Homo-oligomer: A and B are copies of this chain.
């Protein structure tokens, strides 16, 4: 094991984002990211499996927050509201991180491979959300429709927030209100 480096993960994420923004994703190497962060390549690979993963480090945390919110929701709470509460808590995680998220989104938008990785992550998040709902006794197809719909709303909210600013938690709450209007508007 190398010596302990304070906030190595955060430093690597910031260094990667800076280099990907300046030079482009394809023209940046892991060695350069590590050097820019004042760390070694070996340390980089202790945290991230590859060059893409440094942009997607938060997945585990998101998953945990949503699963926790669904597990802890009172039994009177509708499934969609339990998931919305979890996603709003995810939104709180991003308080003060709008600039970081905006730069990250610009890097992803410029690279089809990164867009694919982002979609896979969202798809996994929907699958684990549906699992959490089923563990709470929500039957199919309600669990899957709720989970996939909620992650779709989250995706739209995240994009709105990156473009328009404000607080992500507020944009998420507003987007779920919009979902209810949209779905309730039909016959």
Residues in B whose Cβ lies below 8 Å from that of A175: 141, 145
Let me know if B148 and A153 touch, CB within 8 A. yes
Q: What number of A residues sit within 8 Å (CB to CB) of B?
A: 41
Which of A29-37, A91-99, A178-186 lies on the face that meets chain B?
A: A178-186
Number of copies of this chain in the oligomer?
2
Known A-B contacts A115-B120, A149-B153; the reply to A183 vs B186 at CB < 8 A is no
A59 within 8 A of B: no
A116 within 8 A of B: yes
Q: Which residue of B is nearest A174, CB measured?
A: B141
Let me know if B149 and A185 touch, CB within 8 A. no
Let me know if A186 and B153 touch, CB within 8 A. no
CA distance A94 to B116 in the complex (A): 26
Residues in B whose Cβ lies below 8 Å from that of A156: 141, 144-145, 148
Residues in B whose Cβ lies below 8 Å from that of A148: 152-153, 155-156
CA distance A27 to B175 in the complex (A): 45
By a beta-carbon cutoff of 8 Å, the part of chain A in contact with chain B is: 78-81, 84, 112, 115-117, 119-120, 123, 126, 140-142, 144-146, 148-149, 151-153, 155-156, 159-160, 174-176, 178-187
